[in-house]
Amino acid sequence: MDRRIFLKFLGTNLISLSALMLCPLKVCSRTGFDYALEAQGFIQKREFAKAVNALKKAVAIEPDNDWAFGLFGRAYMGLARNAEAVAAFRKAVQINSDDTYSRMMVEILTQKPIKVLKKKERPLTELEKKAFQEEVSMADKMQGERGLGYKVNRVVIDAGHGGFDPGAVGKKGLKEKDVTLDIALRLQKKLASMGRIKSFLTRTGDYYIPLSDRTVTANQYRADLFISIHANASKRREANGSETYFCSEKASSAEAAKVAAFENSVIKFDKPYKKKAGFIDIEEILFNLEQKLNWKESGRFANLFQNRFKEKLPLKSRGVHSANFYVLRKSKMPSILLETGFISNPAEEALLKQAGFRDKIADAVAMGLL
């Protein structure tokens, strides 16, 4: 369910929620929303059978509750009942055509053969065997080696910094914002020429975009992956190499925490979002439930990406790290932040200034994504 539609749905149940807060559960009649919320808790605990039972009660009361059917799909997936999961997700999309999550899950699940009960088993024909093998092969390709659980078709590329925010500045005056924009533009052209991944840019020129707006762009484009491109810096001039980051509550190291602190430093220019006293942000609660799943997937992809990236780029690989990057935090898809090299290192600053080397970086990133 689209979160805006869900909030509207929640508004229609405020009376029920208020009554629930004022009287004991045994006295108040439960709504479909109550059962669906209970089911969501069971899903988080991996108690899928209990979730299914709660959701049956939810849809019995509210048969047009697309959120409940979306949860049904997740619960059936947990029980490895994929055919029923597909049916539930399709029902959610039928009720709410804007439910992109359920639509995506239908596409994912139907890439794999779903077992259908047959009255009579018979040997497969040669044509059926070939079709079955093609389905298995396609499912393997969609799943990937160890990366994302679905195929990356749409990528949002974020060129770090911009405008009044130069980012890190090298000893010879090279600005991070110029390096990242040039790499982002080159990367988009390369992906377009390959024709396998559709890409979008958060900025196409030298202007500043708030960190929160960059993630909003990725969410609006419904990207499968968000990648933010940067150039590293350190007080130690000898520091060198490339590294990939993903978002986490706690930094993986003191050095990672410093990198995140620098990249987050421009958050002071973002307009603060003020909540009214007593306001319960249901959208944020729902988002947080999915957030850590995306972070886990981001970590898996970051490792796979860095392994491919380092093979194509003549820079030392500093590995994969995690920290609380604001630009990645609010994305509704797996996301990574790439530090292409140290602009504070005189040798790497000289390399980053060269158009040919930036082209090599764009090539390496493209190969990492594919």
Alpha-carbon distance of 312 to 300, in angstroms, equals: 20
Which residue ranges does the chain devote to CATH 1.25.40.10? 3-109
3-state SS, residue 337: strand
Query: What is the tally of helices (H) and strands (E) in the chain?
Result: 15, 6
Q: What is 154-369's CATH superfamily?
A: Zn-dependent exopeptidases (3.40.630.40)
Exposed (0-12), middle (13-18) or buried (19+): which is 151, by Cβ within 10 Å?
middle
Range from 3-12, 229-238, 336-345, 348-357 carrying the lowest mean pLDDT: 3-12
Round to whole Å and give the CA distance between 147 and 302.
8
> Residue 351 is encoded by which pair of tokens?
């390399």
Mean pLDDT of 306-324: 81
Q: What is the residue whose two structure tokens read 């319960």?
A: 280
Return the SS3 of 122: coil
Alpha-carbon gap, residue 368 to 33, rounded angstroms: 43
d(CA 40, CA 60) in angstroms, rounded, equals 17
pLDDT at 291: 55
Confidence of residue 350 (pLDDT cuts 50, 70, 90): very high
Whether 214 and 202 have beta carbons less than 8 Å apart is answered as yes
- Of 172, 218, 166, 177, which is closest to residue 332 (Cα–Cα)? 218
Instruction: Please report which confidence band the pLDDT of residue 144 belongs to, taking 50, 70 and 90 as the band edges.
Output: very low
Residue 302, phi then psi, degrees to nearest 5: -60, -40
pLDDT tens digits, one per residue of 271-293:
554 444 444 444 444 445 455 55
- Asked if residue 352 lies in contact with residue 174, where contact means CB atoms within 8 angstroms, the answer is yes
Say which CATH class 3-109 falls into: mainly alpha
* Listed residue (172, 160, 162, 165) closest to 352, CA to CA: 172
Which pLDDT score is estimated for 26?
41
> Which tokens is 129 given?
């065997």
Give the Cα separation of 101 and 83 in Å (integer): 17
Q: In the chain, where does the domain assigned CATH 3.40.630.40 lie? A: 154-369
- Look at residue 155 and tell me whether its pLDDT is greater than 70: yes
| Lowest-confidence pick of 121-135, 204-218, 301-315 | 121-135
The pTM of this model reads 0.54
- Whether 183 and 365 have beta carbons less than 8 Å apart is answered as yes
Q: How confident is the model at residue 354 (pLDDT cuts 50, 70, 90)?
A: very high
Residue-level pLDDT at 132: 66
